[in-house]
Amino acid sequence: MPAWITALTIAFAAFAATLAAGIAPRRLPALRSMPWSATTAVAAGLLLASALVIVIPEGFEVLFLEHDRGTVPHADRFLGLPPVLASGLAILAGFLLMLVLETHGIAHEFDEETRTSTLLLLGLGIHALTDGLALGASTATGVMAITVPILLAVMVHKIPVAFGLGVFVWQGRAANPLRRILIFSLATPAGLLVTFLFLRQLAHEWIGLILLFSGGTFLYVATIDVLPRVRQHHRTDATLFRRVGLGALLVVIALIVFHQMGFEEPFHDR
């Protein structure tokens, strides 16, 4: 099969799976019957766990991945900085970007609910684009034994994130929830195709730094924007903790299940 057909097939599969996960919360009666504060607290837990359990560890893994320097693009330093320092600065930069956007732009242009949804979509979109970079680079090799495991690993990580976004936009008061899900679903295919066509030699360490940057954006939205607002609508901290904990637990359970099924192992060996 020609490589460009493989790239298009994988792009469509990534789009369809992400879209399905993002739409799923709309079809769950238990979520539809919950009040806004409860579903948003669960979504905050999903987002927080996605940042701390999926995105940031994934970024460090890709950044410090061992490989054959003769076959994989490699970078030893980043703008003159060693990898450890660069990784911390990437997380901080993502966090501060959200702060700048909220205090000097988005905060003054949208209502509270739409602003939070826009910040969330931006942070998740950066991560999705980065996943597309990894998929595009692997697809460009033309080796399905490399591409398929990476596709499975990316989707294992993306499905809980897409579900969390779906919980937030469908159960909240954000405008145009379907459009937001569609934008997020298109981000990974777009990153895949751009990388396949133009950025095949991008060093994987830079992909790792972009993942860490997106992890910083996740942390900001979950801890600074979402959690303080939902806390105001909970009578007790114990109730808030249970709901946020439920969201985080769903992510952890999903990852454990996928790991037991063997889907994550090829990702760590790629």
Q: Residue 158: which of 241, 244, 267 has the closest Cα?
A: 267
How many other CB atoms are there within 10 angstroms of residue 87's CB atom?
24
Give 184-214 pLDDT, tens digit per residue.
Answer: 899 889 988 887 787 666 676 777 787 788 7
Q: How far apart are CA 171 and CA 41, in angstroms?
A: 11
Give the three-class secondary structure for 235: coil
Question: Within 10 Å of residue 257's Cβ, how many Cβ atoms?
Answer: 11
Query: Model's pTM, two decimal places?
Result: 0.65
Residue 262 CA to residue 111 CA, distance in Å, equals 44
Burial class (CB in 10 A: 0-12, 13-18, 19+), 141: middle
Tokens 């996605």 map to which residue? 50
Count of other CB atoms within 10 angstroms of residue 128 = 27
| Identity of the highest mean pLDDT range in 13-27, 118-132, 141-155 | 13-27
Backbone angles phi, psi at 65, to 5 degrees: -65, 130
Q: What confidence category does residue 129 fall into, taking pLDDT thresholds of 50, 70 and 90?
A: confident
Residue 174 pLDDT greater than 60, yes or no: yes
